[in-house]
Amino acid sequence: MELNVKAEETSKVIPYIPTVYRFLNRCYVDEFFSSGKLMLSSILKFRSHPDELRRDANEGVGRISTQINGEPVLTDLQVGLESFVLCSSLMHSPQLYQEFKCDSCIVIEEPLRVAYLIAQALNSVDRVLFGPCSYLQNRTIEKVNGSKNQNCRSDADYEALFMDVVPTGAVDVLFRKELRFQHQHEFRFVWDVSSDSFKQETRIIEIPEAASLCSRLDKNS
């Protein structure tokens, strides 16, 4: 089945962005609702998390597999090294309070508007990405580019294919997690910033306007 959508009809295509949950200790949730203070982390920080059960040493690391002139080509990537990240979950459950060793959570009821406010607070944001993570056994991403794979006869052809395949694959790498984390049902926000802005592995911002776009839930409530 082929779906043809005219340019003027794209306004009818509306993405569904669900409510998500940011699990934290109650003192940090209190602070968010009183001052708008929120801490963003990073891919580098995730790799060295002190809790072994939550550490993912392969965050931002992946491999893209494609075909060039009928031959397999593998490209190793490290992405998100100059990005701030906010992790949330699509699920609110007692198990996640235990998993994250906390007793409260921020319910982000309007994720798109909150993501925009954070981008404003960060400054020098090149791109904002958000969406659910995928959980797979390995980090190899298959990219098939149809007829383009058969037409590489010069360095320019190879470069054009590389520039077509790698950027989309890099986004996949950002949202790919090891299968052992699938119970977290992560919904991730990523802010790519300029190298001058990325000076620390964490960043504390204040966005008091976001409090009205969120609510809270405490453990056992």
- Which residue numbers in the chain have pLDDT < 50? 1-3, 5, 52-53, 146-148
- Residues 44 and 46: their CA atoms lie apart, in Å, by 5
Q: Closest by alpha carbon to 166, among 68, 70, 64, 73?
A: 64
**Neighbour-count burial of 76, counting CB atoms closer than 10 A to its CB (0-12 exposed, 13-18 middle, 19+ buried):** exposed
User: At a CB cut-off of 8 Å and minimum separation 6, what does 217 contact?
Assistant: 21, 92, 104, 105, 107
The SS3 call for residue 120 is helix
The secondary element (H helix, E strand) that includes residue 21 is strand 20-24
pLDDT at 3: 45
pLDDT at 163: 66
**CA-derived radius of gyration, the chain:** 20
